[in-house]
Amino acid sequence: MGIKRGVLSAIVIGVIAVTAGTAWAHGERSQEPFLRMRTITFFDNHWSKKSVKPGEMMELTGRFHVYSEWPRAVYLPESIFVHYSVPGPSMLKKEAWLNGVPVINSTGIELGGDYESKMVIQGRVTGTYHVHPMVNIEAGGPLVGPGEFVTVDGDWTGFQNNVKTITGETVDMERLGLGRIAGWWGLWIVIGVFWLYYWARRPFFRRTDQVGKVPEEQLVTPGDKTFALVMIIGTVVLVGAGNAATKAAYPITIPLQAGRVHVPELKPTTAFTPFKQATVKVKSLDGVYTVPGRSMVMNLEVTNGSNRPQQLGGFVSANLQFRDPGLYPDTRLKLKVEPYGPIAPGQTVKVTLDATDAEWEYQRLAELIYDTDSRYGGIVEFFDADKNRQIVEVGGPVIPNFEAGSTSESGAKKFRRSTEYK
């Protein structure tokens, strides 16, 4: 029976071991669609290198927009941490910037705000990792942007992470203090083992019968008391002396830093106008998601309040960036805009956006029709003749359509298997 059970266990464990795949990413597709569409919208992300050596630096830059109509299910982003997601400290975060401000500790962001982030990352442990920009929301959890594989290529044996202190010493953080740790821990472990051995060398269980029956002095002798007195005094003296010597060795130390920094709003430039300063205004009329066709269609009312013609050329939501192929011929995810072309200054136009692709399914965004709050969200991009860009929030209720083999509007046969898009 025992052998049979052992064989069965071995088979089960073997099957699991053989069939288990490698975890390549961070489960970002498992986050509910409304989280990815209506909280933080990541875009313009750029990984400066796809391969670094241990010790070599790379930059992860990008922008994110904080959705105004923040979902009620998530705490407001009053306290956030700009971060990136990798498996453990395989790559070190050397610098982090948000709108030009260093954000080593946590900060806060505003609804409707736009932010430019930059992180300087150093390769450390050899391997290939999926690196995502990430914003952690206090009491809300992590929101991850799109990921790219980055390889740390080379031997990391002997990797050093040196830093210079304000008192002029250069220390290697990989090994700092190991001598002190080994020395003091080793000393106290020896003392602790000695104290245990002093008592455990005597018969142990026999004492349960002796307690209360034999004189106390036989169980705890005067010599034991003297030894205990030496131990208690010695412990206090050793701790005190070690502490005093350490204070003398390190006279200038500072406490842990727990400050917060304020990050100002992103200032508009000629090339990029954030949502709050955008002169193009958009009213979302309705949205339809056609399940079989993996097609999201939105009807918008656009008013061009700028003094230049503006063309709607992009829709960004949940880490997907759909672009008008007329403006961006190389775009992987294509956006169809009707009526097509620039909107004149002062003009108000009803526009239909058709973002159709199997990515909706592959990224598990089609699940949005099962959300408790079935509303879509994202940002649309407007371009002038010089490709200067404004971004504007869109969003509203989304109605599912289950008509087979069609997109929401055209009915064209755009259905493709999601596996084609991996």
Partner 1 sequence: MALMTPAQGVWLERRTDIVWILVAFGAMVGGFHVHQMLTVGDWDFWLDWKDRRWWVTLTPILLITFPAAVQYILWTNFRLPIGATFCIMALHFGQWMNRIINFYGWAWFPVNFVTPTLMIPSAIFLDTMLMLTKSYMFTALFGGMGFSLLMYPANWVWLAPFHLAVHHPTGPLMSVADLMGMEYVRSATPEYIRIIERGTLRTFGRDVTPVSAWFGGFVSGLVYLWWVFMGKWFGKVYFLKQT
Minimum CB distance to partner 1, residue 144 (Å): 9
Minimum CB distance to partner 1, residue 19 (Å): 22
d(CA 322, CA 407): 16
Nearer Cβ to partner 1, position 167 or 419?
167
DSSP string, 290-325: ETTTTEEEEEEEEEE-SSS-BEEEEEEETTEEEE-T
Nearer Cβ to partner 1, position 147 or 314?
147
Residues 92-121 that bind partner 1 (CB under 8 A): 92-97, 102, 104-106
Helix, strand, coil proportions of the chain in percent (round to 5)? Answer: 25, 35, 40
Residues 180-219 that bind partner 1 (CB under 8 A): 180-181, 184-185, 188-189, 191-193, 195-196, 199-200, 203-208, 210-211, 216, 219
Residues 250-269 that bind partner 1 (CB under 8 A): 250, 252-259
55 is a contact residue toward partner 1 (CB under 8 A): no
d(CA 208, CA 230): 27
Minimum CB distance to partner 1, residue 180 (Å): 4
130 is a contact residue toward partner 1 (CB under 8 A): no
Minimum CB distance to partner 1, residue 150 (Å): 13
| Cα end-to-end distance, the chain, whole Å | 47
Nearer Cβ to partner 1, position 35 or 92?
92
3-state secondary structure of 245: helix
415 is a contact residue toward partner 1 (CB under 8 A): no
Q: Which residues contact 48 (CB under 8 A, 6 or more apart)?
A: 58, 59, 60, 61
Nearer Cβ to partner 1, position 73 or 231?
231
- Can you name the residues that pair with 286 across neighbouring β-strands? 299
How many residues at the interface with partner 1, by CB under 8 A? Answer: 94
Burial class (CB in 10 A: 0-12, 13-18, 19+), 410: middle
Residues 332-371 that bind partner 1 (CB under 8 A): none
56 is a contact residue toward partner 1 (CB under 8 A): no
84 is a contact residue toward partner 1 (CB under 8 A): yes
- Which window, 3-11, 32-40, 80-88, 293-301, contacts partner 1 (CB under 8 A)? 80-88
Side chain identity at residue 395, one-letter code: G
Pairing status of strand 114-123 against strand 141-144: unpaired
Query: Of residues 231, 291, 327, 369, which one binds partner 1 by CB under 8 A?
Result: 231
Nearer Cβ to partner 1, position 81 or 415?
81
Q: Which residues contact 96 (CB under 8 A, 6 or more apart)?
A: 82, 83, 102, 103, 104, 117, 118, 119, 120
Minimum CB distance to partner 1, residue 194 (Å): 10
Q: What are phi and psi of 3, to 5 degrees?
A: -65, -45
